[in-house]
Amino acid sequence: MRSASVWSRLHRAADAQTSWGDQPPRQRHGSAVTLPLDGWTVSGTARSAVEALVVRHLTYLGAQSKPGESLRIARDGHGLEIAAEWAGLDEPTAQAAYGLMAIHGRAQASGPQRLAVDYVTTATGVIATQGVLAALLSGMRGRPIAAVGTGVANAALLTISQYLAAASASDPDYLEPLASNGTPPPFESADGTLLELETLDPQPWADFWTFLGLTPAVIARAWKAFVLRYATATASLPAELHQATRMLAFEQLRQAAERAGVTIQPVRTFGQRLADVEGQCQQLGRPWTISPRPGRRTSPSQAMDSAEPLSGLLVVETGRRIQGPMAGHILQLLGAEVVRIEPLGGDPLRGMPPMVGDCSARFLALNRNKRVVEADLRAASGRATVRELARDAAVFLHNLAPGKAAQMSLDAPDLWKINPGLVYAYASGWGEERGGSPPPGTDFIAQAYSGLAHNVRPAGQRPAGSLMTILDVLGGLIAAEGVVAALVNRYRTGRGQQVDSSLLSAAGVLQAPIAESAAAHQPVWGMWDAPVPTADGHVMIAAGSRPPQSLSPTDLASQRTVDALASLRSAGMCAVAVCQDPAALVTDPAVSPLVEFDGCAFVRPPWRFVR
């Protein structure tokens, strides 16, 4: 944990101005650099897991690591101070205070639940690295930045931005669905295989369950809960569905799914995922690949038109659902102009309740302030519109289904013909790992395949992925991180870049610390490691903070939350009240400066740049 003094240290660092803009690309072994941070050194003791992740990602990008008093990155005597503020919290208390436990726990209807992975830590580290890269790019473009910081509160709120927007929207016609008597996925086969199903179309869904003998009424009722699980983080599916899958062996279910056109994915263990990685000589935790465009150099010339690091840069985004739009949202928060390509008539998700005016609050959380151009990508004229926009863009970003961009002549080689300096970013589901015809790259299928569905639950709980869209959000953050790194490399080398990231690589970033530790793949928790019920809510104590033996969780059950916190703190414990409803965050004095309200709550940019 870091004290509040990190911010004053950042401002003191502003006295040491940087000047990186006029330095030519370095040469290495007779060729231009291909790693964005070749020649840079990142120093610091990595006193937290956030700082360790920042150092790890910067070294992936070519920086050399060495010990130091404080976290900073430097080259040729010019440096950038880096800080991540925890405000007295740690992973479990941050999850509790900022609503993640409440959202993750919705599906089980048993109250807030803790994610058993360091999700806030990981998101904070990725967001901090985005800030570092954006600051370096700003310096290269002639507006030096001396220090950059972010906070765990900023990062945590950004990860739940859709849920926060929906919870705070004043839509009188909308009632947030909550878990009821139904049971969420995963399903289970007769031979004991846990499995996830996925389809984005109601007809394959209906066909699959018809094969299993369900009635149209049950199938239709289940579809609504199933398809809305991405938005609501809950899925109360009728018991008949689970009873039906338990009647058949996995192979029979697989055949039925294949006939219907539904994706079926066993919930794999983390050990199985590690065997994949080792067998393919991959490195778990490497978030993206960045490759320069072959051929001649160009001279990127977009001038900055404001103090924001990415100002003056145009991003063309063809993003669907969450992953792609989140990446574009981050680039927009950093100052880029983002043009969002939507189908004729607009993205259908604009109409998903709750509404703010005539647009979905959830949709606005990721797409507000983007300029929209409607184009039918199935038509030559629509594709021509996209190519014309890409001609003057710095970045083309998409998360289309595998092969779709190539079919539409919107792949990297196609767009480099008209814009050789373009950064081409593909945020996919699987990367290159699952072949040329992979299943849909969606959050819950990726959680099941990667073993993350085991990792997010402690030992003793049935493995099940979170219905909070943890990989879609983290995948978008990682895609944006790779884009800014590629923009740095584009500036240094004069070459266009290709950036590839995936939901699977995002899972790997979360899982890398688990793989490196000797801990069980499902952590073993004691009685204080999960939210503790009180008479009117829950409390969460910090990791490693243990009450005296004379105090037990049952002692707090009859106390009000405020009194339970007083009891814990008087015993020297660090504890917080668990946020029960994200809507309450908007009026929290510690949170309100981090959001702005315009029909609903929107999370402000999570970085602080000191010049």
Rounded CA-CA distance 114/233 in Å is 14
Omega cis (within 30) before 186: yes
Residues 140 and 20: beta-carbon distance below 8 Å:
yes
Question: Which is nearest to 430 in space by CA: 487, 504, 529?
Answer: 504
List b or e across 416-451, with b for residues whose CB sees 16 or more CB atoms inside 10 angstroms: beebebbbbbbbbbbbebbeeebbbbbbbbbbbbbb
How far is Cα 575 from Cα 567, in angstroms, rounded to an integer?
A: 10
Whose CA is closest to 60, among 402, 486, 446? 486
Query: What's the CA dihedral at 164, 167, 173, 175 to 10 degrees?
Result: 130
Strands 395-398 and 423-428, bridge-based pairing: parallel
Q: Residue 266 forms beta bridges with which residues?
A: 195
Contacts of 233 (CB under 8 A, 6+ apart): 103, 104, 106, 107, 163, 466, 467, 468, 469
The pair of structure tokens assigned to 91 is 């992973």
CB 50 within 8 A of CB 73: no
Amino acid at 256: A
Number of Cβ within 10 Å of residue 220's Cβ equals 14
**Residue 500 is among the residues annotated as catalytic for this protein:** no
The DSSP code sequence of 172-207 is TT-------SSBPSPEE-TTS-EEEEE-SSHHHHHH
Angstrom distance (rounded) from CA 95 to CA 204: 37
Of 99, 10, 50, 5, nearest in space to 591 by CA: 99
Residue 553: which region, alpha, beta or left (left: phi > 0; alpha: psi -120 to 50)?
alpha
Pairing verdict, β 497-502 and 288-292: antiparallel
Among left, alpha and beta (phi > 0; psi -120 to 50; other), residue 564 is alpha
Crossing angle, helix 470-493 and helix 323-333, to 10 degrees?
50
Cβ neighbours of residue 163 closer than 8 Å, sequence gap 6 or more: 99, 103, 233, 468, 582
Residue located via tokens 């002549």: 409
Q: Are 128 and 150 in contact (CB under 8 A)?
A: yes
Rounded Cα distance, 402 and 63, in Å: 32
- What is the identity of the amino acid at 267? V
Cβ atoms of residues 355 and 453 within 8 Å: no
DSSP-derived letter for residue 459 is T
Nearest-angstrom CA–CA distance, 315 and 307: 18
In terms of DSSP H, where are the helices of 105-151? Answer: 119-140
Kindly name the residue from 118, 443, 472, 500 that is annotated as catalytic.
Answer: 472
Pairing relation of β-strands 371-374 and 395-398?
Answer: unpaired
- Which 3 state secondary structure label does DSSP give 87? coil
Q: Would you name the residues annotated as active-site residues?
A: 472
